[in-house]
């Protein structure tokens, strides 16, 4: 039997898992290594615009994601005292982009993706280090990755280690697997570096490339059961130096997020809920009710970073980089994860198992680098507006927002033009999914 080409995905976040599912469906033998002890993403929501939903449709996850989402894009833009500046509705997004933005729970999205992988394909508690990016030329050497497994995990998962040995045999060279008590070396035809914003693989393959830059603000997130009177409420509220957002999730839950312009690396002296209370406790309903409902340990805080410069490429040797590892962006367009999902399906589309890998990776870079860098730039531009602290400047900003909403209600959506209307590449891997069915399934049914 012909051996399948092997892909090793570093990182079990949304980007890595989407790539793994897409490559598995494309015929690759895929292993995902994740350094965390479990695939347990942060307790937060994630907005998925139509571009990401179409990408998920290609791997038949789109319907399930939409089914887990409650909110579909309708909401209000407000000021801290409660004044409404603008309203957004689904219809406008559907008109403009062919579908609404939905917000899913991250854990549910990750579970849906992981469930589509063959059993044993994900190895947690395993930290990967790129040893050799390999050479994608004809007969070129495979990529090599060292996997460190903590002693306890190594001791009790001999079966997994054996599974790795068989599932990672490459076709361009015999896989080498040398294992000490804690290390394992794997070779693969393709390595997908989806190792997130502080990507060690990015540093290894592009050592001169500058690290992501602090965007000037920090972000808090949490999910709580909807307190009384908060169900169905969606708003984003802009105040001096900060933003608060509230979005309903399915199952009677609320996803809340907030940002504030502060120096990097700060932490609340007491706890992050107390910090949110100090900054946002006097803002309009439902902000105080949500802060009453959340426990201090449930509030996540992350400083926000953005790409300091475009990388030379999204690939090097047999390594493809994707997601935050290669295009970290501010969350202001809700596109970081969406772009990671797009990367994943484009990569799988280009990298047919019998394709010339070097040419496929070059095509991947050509399609993804300029597009994602434009999204990085647009998100950062909006991010900068949210850091304004001067009250006269904020009053002017509010006036402009209100006037814009009156004169051209769809104008606010313009920031997502040529982003949210994206469609996956046509061909074997095309979705073309308007609505809920993938093109492939439509053809089957017709
Ligand atoms: C406040 C905030 C709100 C956001 N909201 C949205 C939104 O609404 N919509 C949206 O699309 N995006 C949003 N984003 C962006 C989105 O969260 C990211 O772009 C997305 O999660 C990136 O996914 P990823 O798979 O590339 O990286 P990650 O999710 O960071 O995954 C990387 C994984 O790699 C693992 N890893 C790292 N190093 C190694 C190693 N050496 N070996 C093994 N495993 C390793 C990590 O443990 C991690 O699990 C938001 C971001 C923030 C900060």
**219 Cα nearest atom in ligand 1:** 1
pLDDT at 427 over 70: no
Instruction: Quote the pLDDT of residue 162.
Output: 30
Mean residue pLDDT across the chain:
87
How much is the average pLDDT of 70-80? 83
d(CA 124, CA 130): 17
236/401 Cα distance (integer angstroms): 13
- Per-residue exposure over 226-235, b if at least 16 CB sit within 10 Å of its own CB, e if not: bbeebeebbb
Instruction: Give residue 3's pLDDT.
Output: 80
Query: DSSP for 286-321?
Result: THHHHHHHS-GGG-EEEEEEE-SS--S-SEETTEEE
Q: In sequence order, which residues have a C-beta less than 8 Å from that of residue 399 and are 6 or more positions away? A: none
Nearest-CA residue for ligand 1 atom 11 is 337
In the three-class reduction of DSSP (H, G, I as helix; E, B as strand; rest coil), residue 374 is classed as: helix
Over residues 8-13, mean pLDDT = 98
In a domain, 441, yes or no: no
Query: Does 249 reside within a domain?
Result: no
**How confident is the model over 43-47, as a mean pLDDT?**
91
Provide mean pLDDT across the span 421-432. Answer: 68
Nearest atom in ligand 1 to the alpha carbon of residue 340 is 26
Average pLDDT over residues 407-423: 84
For ligand 1, atom 37: residue with the closest CA: 195
Q: Tell me 324's DSSP state.
A: G
Q: Please write the tens of the pLDDT for every residue from 160-182.
A: 333 333 222 222 222 334 444 47
For residue 337, the ligand 1 atom closest to its alpha carbon is 11
Q: Separation of 363 CA from ligand 1 center, angstroms?
A: 24
Q: Is residue 290 part of a domain?
A: no
Which of 8, 14, 73 for mutating ligand 1's site (highest number of atoms within 8 Å of CB)? 14
- Which residue is closest in CA terms to ligand 1's atom 3? 331
User: pLDDT digit string (tens) for 355-367?
Assistant: 999 999 999 999 9
* Cα(391) to centroid(ligand 1), Å: 34
Ligand 1 atom with minimal separation from the 322 CA: 26
Which pLDDT score is estimated for 117?
A: 98
How many angstroms separate the CA atoms of 432 and 170, rounded?
Answer: 33
Check which CATH number belongs to the domain holding 39 and give it: 3.50.50.60
Higher pLDDT: 173 or 265? It is 265
Does 403 have pLDDT greater than 50?
A: yes
pLDDT of residue 229: 83
Span 81-100, average pLDDT: 88
Least confident of 27-36, 425-434, 437-446: 437-446
- With respect to residue 240, please indicate whether it lies within any of the assigned structural domains: no
Provide the residue range defining the domain that includes 190. Answer: 6-62+110-210+309-379
Report d(CA 173, CA 44) in Å as an integer.
Answer: 42
- Closest-CA residue, ligand 1 atom 6, reads 334
Given ligand 1 and candidates 10, 11, 223, which is best to mutate, with the most ligand atoms within 8 Å of its CB? 11
Domain count, the chain: 1
Expressed in angstroms and rounded, the spacing between residue 96 Cα and the centre of ligand 1 is 28
Ligand 1 pocket, mutate which of 324, 325, 329, 379 (most atoms under 8 A from CB) = 324
User: Would 126 be classed as within a structural domain?
Assistant: yes
Atom of ligand 1 nearest to the CA of 323: 26
Average pLDDT over residues 9-30: 97
Q: Which residues contact 82 (CB under 8 A, 6 or more apart)?
A: 284, 285
Strand ranges for 117-272 from DSSP E: 122-123, 127-132, 143-148, 183-188, 190-193, 213-225, 235-239, 242-249, 253-260
Whether the per-residue pLDDT at 275 is higher than 90: the answer is yes
Rounded-to-integer distance, Cα 174 and Cα 112, Å: 33
Rg (Cα) of the chain, in Å, rounded?
22
Least confident window among 51-65, 137-151, 399-413: 399-413
Assess whether pLDDT exceeds 80 at residue 79.
yes
Report which protein residue has its CA nearest ligand 1's atom 21. Answer: 337
Count of alpha carbons within 13 angstroms of residue 148, beta-carbon side: 8
CA quadruple 185, 189, 194, 195: dihedral, nearest 10? 20
Closest CA to 279 of 264, 254, 299, 259: 259
- Closest residue to atom 51 of ligand 1, CA basis: 331
d(CA 256, CA 294): 10
Least confident of 56-65, 71-80, 217-226, 316-325: 71-80
CA 394 to ligand 1 center in whole angstroms: 31
Tell me the CA–centroid distance for residue 393 and ligand 1, in Å.
33
Whether residue 446 has pLDDT greater than 80: no
Percentage of the chain modeled with pLDDT above 90: 71
Residue 69 domain-assigned (yes or no):
no
Query: Candidates 31, 32, 35, 108: which one to mutate for ligand 1, based on the most atoms within 8 Å of Cβ?
Result: 35
C-alpha 126 to ligand 1 mean position (Å): 17
If you take atom 19 of ligand 1, which residue's CA is the nearest one?
336
If you measure from the C-alpha of residue 299 to the centroid of ligand 1, how many angstroms do you get, rounded to a whole number? 17
How many Å lie between the centroid of ligand 1 and the Cα of residue 44?
12
- Reported as a single tens digit per residue, the pLDDT across 120-163 is 999 999 999 999 999 999 889 999 999 998 876 554 443 333 33
436 pLDDT more than 60:
no
Q: Give the pLDDT score at 1.
A: 55
The answer to whether residue 261 is domain-embedded is no
Q: For residue 327, how far is its CA from the centre of ligand 1 (angstroms)?
A: 11
Q: Report yes or no on 369 lying in a domain.
A: yes
Q: Considering the chain, what percentage of its residues have pLDDT values greater than 70?
A: 87
130 or 398: which leads in pLDDT: 130
Residues near ligand 1 (Cβ within 6 A)? 10-16, 33-36, 46-47, 127-128, 194-197, 200, 219, 221, 257, 302, 304, 323-325, 331, 334-338, 340
pLDDT tens for residues 202-228?
A: 999 999 999 999 999 999 999 999 999
Residue 444: pLDDT above 70?
no
């Amino acid at each position: 039997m012909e051996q399948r080409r092997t892909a090793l995905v570093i990182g079990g976040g949304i980007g890595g898992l989407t790539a793994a599912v897409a490559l598995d469906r494309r015929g690759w033998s895929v292993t995902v290594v994740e350094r965390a002890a479990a695939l347990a993403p942060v307790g937060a929501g994630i907005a998925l615009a139509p571009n990401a939903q179409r990408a998920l449709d290609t791997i038949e996850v789109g319907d399930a994601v939409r089914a887990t989402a409650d909110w579909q894009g309708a909401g209000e833009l407000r000021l801290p005292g409660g004044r409404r500046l603008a309203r957004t509705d689904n219809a406008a997004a559907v008109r403009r982009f062919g579908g609404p933005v939905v917000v899913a729970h991250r854990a549910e999205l990750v579970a849906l993706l992981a469930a589509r992988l063959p059993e044993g394909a994900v190895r947690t508690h395993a930290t990967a280090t790129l040893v050799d990016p390999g050479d994608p030329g004809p007969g070129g050497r495979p990529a090599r990755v060292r996997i460190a497994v903590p002693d306890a995990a190594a001791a009790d998962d001999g079966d997994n280690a054996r599974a790795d040995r068989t599932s990672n045999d490459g076709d361009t060279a015999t896989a080498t697997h040398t294992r000490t008590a804690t290390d394992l070396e794997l070779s693969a035809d393709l390595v997908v570096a989806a190792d997130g914003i502080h990507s060690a693989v990015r540093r290894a393959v592009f050592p001169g490339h500058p690290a992501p830059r602090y965007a000037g603000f920090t972000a808090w997130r949490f999910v709580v059961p909807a307190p009384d009177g908060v169900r169905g409420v969606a708003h984003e509220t802009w105040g001096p130096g900060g933003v608060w957002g509230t979005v309903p999730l399915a199952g009677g839950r609320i996803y809340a997020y907030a940002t504030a312009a502060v120096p990097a690396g700060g932490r609340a002296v007491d706890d992050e809920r107390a910090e949110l209370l100090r900054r946002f406790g006097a803002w309009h309903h439902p902000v105080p009710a949500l802060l009453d409902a959340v426990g201090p340990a449930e509030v996540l805080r992350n400083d926000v970073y953005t790409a300091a410069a475009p990388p030379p490429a999204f690939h090097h040797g047999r390594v493809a980089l994707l997601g935050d590892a290669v295009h970290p962006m501010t969350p202001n367009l809700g596109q970081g994860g969406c772009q990671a999902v797009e990367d994943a399906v484009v990569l799988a589309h280009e990298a047919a198992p019998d394709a010339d890998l070097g040419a496929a990776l070059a095509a991947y870079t050509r399609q993804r680098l300029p597009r994602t860098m434009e999204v990085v730039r647009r998100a950062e531009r909006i991010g900068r507006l949210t850091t304004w602290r001067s009250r006269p400047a904020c009053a002017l900003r509010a006036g402009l927002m209100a006037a814009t909403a009156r004169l051209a209600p769809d104008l606010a959506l313009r920031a997502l033009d040529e982003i949210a209307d994206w469609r996956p590449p046509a061909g074997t891997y095309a979705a073309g999914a308007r609505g809920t069915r993938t093109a492939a399934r439509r053809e089957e049914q017709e």
